[in-house]
Structure 1
Amino acid sequence: MKSEETVLALAALAQPTRLEAFRLLVRHEPNGLAAGDIARALAVPQNTMSAHLAVLSRAGLISAERFSRSIVYRPVLSHLREVMLFMLRDCCEGRPEICAPLIEQLAPCCPPSSKKRAHAKL
């Protein structure tokens, strides 16, 4: 990942409505949410929400898919992961005790189910 991509993603998330929209989409992964549902959930006018979603989309943080008359948005978690790894890659400069507490807090809240692990081994 390049610095410019990281700056674009962080800038997109550096606005309260966009940050809350992204967090809302993460909570609704993998189904995503329609633009109107996002606007209602955040009490933001639909045209304003559309502009915010466009910024998140240009930053590569969300994807959009049209279903009939609505557009469903989903977070692109792989891109968020790349941004976070870029930020942390050189965090400890050979001193793991600096990053260890942070990494512990980043441990997944939802470990993979045994079904997924068993399936992944096949």
Structure 2
Amino acid sequence: MREMALFAVIRLVLWAGIWWVLTLFDIGVMLAGVLAALIAMLISILFLNRVRDAAAMRWKAADDKRRERHPDDVDEDAEAEDSFLDAEAAAADGTHGVEVTGTSRATDASHSGPGELPELPAEDPENTSADGR
């Protein structure tokens, strides 16, 4: 937590200092704020590698601990979306059944793909009007 707070404070102080310098040049408060944010971001990317990496590693360690405490947390919406995408991918590959969370799911037979479009009736030139309708 200390690393993340340190990184945030350094970036905020950097932004405030750059904003103050830019407002001295009479750029305007809003434009100075936007430019200060961009410049502070670039400076932090270039020169704050150690602090940023330490914060990222701390964040990863905390996330790993959380995953160890709750390994059975399953996002049901994500699972449903994944199974739907797997079924769509299998239909595109030409397979007709996909094993999804212990059940076999067949693709919908009424679904027409681009290769299975119905034939259009031939136009009768005698029944069409001059404007093509």
**TM surpasses 0.5:** no
| TM-score of the pair, normalised by structure 1 | 0.25
Q: Name the larger-Rg structure.
A: 2
| TM-score of the pair, normalised by structure 2 | 0.24
More strand by share: 1
Q: Which has the higher contact order (CA 8 A, sep 6+)?
A: 1
